Amino acid sequence: MRGRPLSSAVVSAVPPTRPAALEIRPARPQDVELVFSLIVELARYERAPDQVNGTPDLLREALFGEHPSAEAVIAELDGEPVGFALFHGTFSTWECRPGLWLEDLYVPPRHRRAGVGGALLARVAAIAVERGCTRLQWAALEWNAPALDFYAKLGARRLDEWVLHRLDGEALRQVAAGASALDVSS
């Protein structure tokens, strides 16, 4: 969902712990290498560096190509990049309204506890509200207690009754080709 263009936003309601020079701005094409390096750093943090199969070129196409499929915002502190959030559109059939899926939000450890993560999430939430979205959703690894605690403090509701599923690789190709033995009776 590519709604209205993202605008830069200097966070105005600055909590005491948030540096005054923190800016959240839309990613630009020249940020692709930075965002990709943060994605790789996030994968290392999440103990899955070998699962990064994308490339900066694929990311550039996803963010800035002819048909963008995702958007990103960058957090800068005194002009230095200190984190990012990457998101894309979703749709709720029950509400018949759009939503946003927060694919990644990452702040390197050396910049944590300065309000950067909260500012990134607040900006993505503001984008959701500006676009008439009814929800902002994301997933977190169950062992990532700092992230889970952070989300709980924000008032985010855990959806423990939902189980996330994924088709990828050969399984995705088989289902797409109809080659999988799908049992419709179960």
Q: Please, how many CA atoms are within 13 Å of residue 94, restricted to the half-sphere of its CB?
A: 2
* Residue 45 bears catalytic tag: no
Measured from the Cβ of residue 42, the count of other Cβ atoms closer than 10 Å reads 20
Nearest to 122 by CA among 156, 77, 158, 88: 156
Contact 118, 24 (CB under 8 A): no
Read off φ and ψ for residue 9, nearest 5 degrees. -140, 115
Bridging pattern class, strands 136-137 and 71-77: unpaired
Q: Which of 24, 87, 151, 156 is catalytic?
A: 151
Catalytic positions are 151
